[in-house]
Amino acid sequence: MKQQGSIIPPHVLIFPGPGQGHVNPMLKLAELLGLSGLKVTFLNFQFIHDQLLLHADIEARFTKYPGFQFKKIPDRMSVPRAERPEDMADIIKDLIERMKTSSKTLKKILVENSPPIDCIIADMLMGFVHDVAKEVGIPVIPFENASSCSFWTVLSIPRIIAAGELPIKGNQDMDRLITTVPGMETFLRCRDLPTCCRVNDLADPKLLMITNETRESQALILKTFEDLEAPILCPLRTRYPKIYTIGPLHELLKTKLRSIKKQESYSSLNPLWEVDRTCITWLDNQASHSVLYVSFGSIAIMTREQLMEFWYGLENSKKKFLWVIRPYSVTTNDDGVEEIPEELQEGPKERGYIVKWAPQEEVLAHKAIGGFLAHSGWNSTLESIVAGVPMICWPCFGDQQMNSRFVSEVWKLGMDMKDVCDRKVVEKMVNDLMVDRREEFVKSTARMAELARKSVTEGGSSSCSLEHLIQDIKSMSIDRHS
Ligand code: UDP
């Protein structure tokens, strides 16, 4: 069947990893492809799909795109929850292993789906999807959910090991410079490496869990933008010749919707938890740039002691704050109850406002926000960059250790508080960010925000990259049908 000149649109299957930070950007990509007339099937694990339905009218939002469908892989999985911060790496490793048991079901979906699938966009975290797709002969474009700086470092792990720079030899070794990651020779320390590298033994399976999922490919989608990570994208292109840099995705989608419909019709969709919008009303009553937004994303967990250090640090800083304390984000006691101290349950008196889940993109864009105390998740980092909000980084796991180093040392968009959780340090950094060093940070955040916004306008690097991706998917589809 020749498709050239015909009106049959290519059919793309999108399969994100099972987590808020993975599903959100892929939903945005799905909407961008839908806007360009591509047919999209959005595949999720059942437990993620159920959560999406619970907190957002997700199906209604996508009915406007002809041929759009949600599909799910039945599973017995549940939202991964760590009991203790140090369990995060094991939880992720376990999740990656459990996902692999879905290979057979996935194969059936890929073979039997109607209309047939022309191309798959799948999270790089799920190597099994790439293997199954290869078996049934459907091309896959991997989507890397982490920052390029982190991904490039993960790819460089064999080189770091060969140079004898890994393993890390205990706590006293954490400030040692790692000199063998091209592009980062002068500022990368052991403590900045992705958390999978925090092992004393080269045989530790956590060390290679991410590299084991990584597949070689001609193409790669990254949710970054050229002006942000150019020096790292350059060596990455030696491994993945065709890289589509289409970030920040929320801003790209917002801009496209605006240009197509000539009106602002974008509403953020981060739907795995119920959003508490009362914080926007609270923000409306605060002075410009007076509030610090505090959130550690959708998975990170902290101990009761850490929570209290933040609490006293924030209170003592005397600055206003909006704090997201998500359910299951604090360690539980022996009865399985989260150890949120009474002071916090009662809520801060004047200066603070606490919610379980906020409309984060909207919060960061609010004029009252002057800073972001964050865990340096890649989505949160990009959202903060677009909004021009300086950051204090308290990274927890994964690529966050790398992102926070780049935020502080390379892009100069804030400060890195990694591996420290002390009320005095919190207080000092909050005051530095909001007052004492504010001018210095605002200069660089404003510049980077402008570059981010430029990248998504017509002719900008991310906008052009998306067009190339769409054209390449169309060509793939024509090739498959000719
Ligand atoms: N988020 C949100 N409301 C909140 C906290 C987070 O909508 O109260 C969103 C945030 O905008 C981001 C995502 O959740 O898009 C978190 O992704 P990130 O990569 O920053 O961290 P992860 O949750 O994967 O650790």
Which atom of ligand 1 is nearest the CA belonging to 250? 15
Q: Strand 11-15: give its sheet, edge to edge.
A: 69-73, 39-45, 11-15, 119-123, 140-144, 219-222, 242-245
Domains detected in the chain: 2-267+455-481 (3.40.50.2000), 278-436 (3.40.50.2000)
Evaluate: CB of 299 within 6 angstroms of ligand 1.
yes
Could you give the angle at which helices 127-136 and 103-112 cross, rounded to 10 degrees? 40
Whether residue 48 has pLDDT greater than 80 = yes
271 alpha carbon to ligand 1 midpoint, in Å?
Answer: 10
Where helices occur in 348-405 by DSSP H, the ranges are: 360-365, 378-387, 400-405
Burial of 334 (0-12, 13-18, 19+ CB in 10 A): exposed
- pLDDT (mean) for 395-404: 96
- pLDDT (mean) for 386-411: 97
Residue 255 token pair: 């801009």
16 alpha carbon to ligand 1 midpoint, in Å?
Answer: 15
Residue 351 is classified by DSSP as S
Among the listed residues 222, 427, 219, 235, the one whose alpha carbon sits nearest the alpha carbon of residue 316: 427
Evaluate: CB of 395 within 6 angstroms of ligand 1.
no
Which atom of ligand 1 is nearest the CA belonging to 268? 7
- pLDDT (mean) for 139-156: 97
Whether residue 120 has pLDDT greater than 50 = yes
Residue 86 token pair: 């140090």
pLDDT band at 347, cuts 50/70/90? low
Mean pLDDT highest for which of 3-12, 223-232, 261-270? 223-232
Does 55 participate in catalysis according to the annotation?
A: no
- pLDDT (mean) for 179-184: 96
422 alpha carbon to ligand 1 midpoint, in Å?
Answer: 24
21 alpha carbon to ligand 1 midpoint, in Å?
Answer: 6
Which atom of ligand 1 is nearest the CA belonging to 355? 8
- Please report which helix (H) or strand (E) contains residue 317, including its range: helix 304-317
Report pLDDT for 1. 43
Which atom of ligand 1 is nearest the CA belonging to 358? 8
Evaluate: CB of 123 within 6 angstroms of ligand 1.
no
- Active-site residue among 123, 192, 399, 416? 123
266 alpha carbon to ligand 1 midpoint, in Å?
Answer: 18
| 65-107 residue pLDDT tens | 999 999 999 877 776 677 777 777 788 888 888 888 899 999 9
Does 375 participate in catalysis according to the annotation?
A: no
- Active-site residue among 11, 22, 49, 130? 22
Q: What's the whole-number average pLDDT of the chain?
A: 91
